[in-house]
Structures are given as structure tokens and as C-alpha cells.
Amino acid sequence: MEQYIEFLSNHPVLSIIWLIIAAMLIGSWFKSQFSKIRQINPQQLTLLVNRQDGQVVDIRSQKEFNQGHIAGAIHLAADKAKQGDLSTLEKFKSAPIILVCNAGITANGIAEVCHKAGFEQVFVLSGGMGAWQSAGLPTSK
């Protein structure tokens, strides 16, 4: 214990940085545990679609969507979704919707917009289309 106290007194900047990083990690964990938006993997996406009639929503560009997308996915432009124009998704308000982007990063912001718009079950494909293709799962054109 004395070594910890000595380290803290000799390296206050490093100690503060360590505490900030620890707080950020703990905060991130709590946010993910209590968030209404869940990250799912490709296998979980398949189960949601097959068992609960989940709807896949691809928010990549139209060009990328046309090059290959998950079967049954509908396209929604990311810029329209960010502005709150979710009229194409209105009929899926009570069904699970799974947002898919390239890497799973852009979809998080749009998932928040969907949740605030009243969508009950919003999911994000963790890793996006990259994870889907890495898992060797099929795409359609």
C-alpha cells in the first residue's frame, strides 16, 4: 500500500490520467448495460429476423447498398435519418429494427434518433457489413 501512495505522490499526472481512463471505462460499461439500444452480432441478427420478424435497415450509401446488402434489408439514407425523416420505417415501430452501416459506428447515432422517435426495439449490427461479410454470410444485390 505504501508503494501505491508513493507512486501517486511521485506521479500525480499519470495517476489522474489513470483515474480518468478507469472512470471512462466504467461509464462506458454502465451506458452499454442500461442502454435501450443493443449491439448484436451477425448470428443474433439472423435470429431476430427469423424468429421475431426483425427488419434490417441499411444506412450506407445507395451505391454501397446496390453493391451488396443483407437479404431483405431496406435502404434508408443516413442523412435523412439524422434529420429525423423515418417515414419509411413507420410500419416497423413495434418490430425489431436492426441498423447496419459499414463498421457499426454511424448506426449508433441513427439508433438514438430512432429510439427518440418511438421505435420500441432498436439494434445495431456490431461491426456493420464488415462483420457480416467476415462471418461469411450471404449478401444480395
Q: What's the CATH code of the domain at 88? A: 3.40.250.10
Examine the domain organization and report whether 18 and 60 are in the same domain.
Answer: no
Average pLDDT, the chain: 86
Examine the domain organization and report whether 18 and 73 are in the same domain.
Answer: no
pLDDT reading at 17 higher than 90: yes
Examine the domain organization and report whether 51 and 76 are in the same domain.
Answer: yes
d(CA 64, CA 140): 12
**What is the mean pLDDT of the segment spanning 21-46?**
85
Would you call 38 helix, strand, or coil by DSSP? strand
Give residue 14's Cα distance to chain centre.
32
Examine the domain organization and report whether 10 and 70 are in the same domain.
Answer: no
Q: Is 82 within 8 Å of 110 (Cβ atoms)?
A: yes
**Could you tell me if residue 140 is inside a domain?**
no
Q: Output 81 or 10, whichever has higher pLDDT.
A: 10
Examine the domain organization and report whether 83 and 115 are in the same domain.
Answer: yes
**Could you tell me if residue 97 is inside a domain?**
yes
**What is the mean pLDDT of the segment spanning 17-31?**
89
* pTM of full prediction above 0.85: no
Range of the domain at 6: 2-33
Task: State residue 7's pLDDT score.
Answer: 86
Task: State residue 33's pLDDT score.
Answer: 72
Q: What Rg, from alpha-carbon coordinates, does the chain have?
A: 20
**Could you tell me if residue 104 is inside a domain?**
yes
Examine the domain organization and report whether 44 and 18 are in the same domain.
Answer: no
d(CA 76, CA 86): 8
Examine the domain organization and report whether 21 and 53 are in the same domain.
Answer: no
Examine the domain organization and report whether 44 and 12 are in the same domain.
Answer: no
Q: Is 139 within 8 Å of 67 (Cβ atoms)?
A: no
What residues contact residue 118 under an 8 Å CB cut-off, 6+ apart?
A: 93
**Could you tell me if residue 141 is inside a domain?**
no
Angstrom distances, CA of residue 97 to CA of 74, 106, 140, 141:
11, 15, 19, 20
The domain total for the chain is 2
**Could you tell me if residue 27 is inside a domain?**
yes
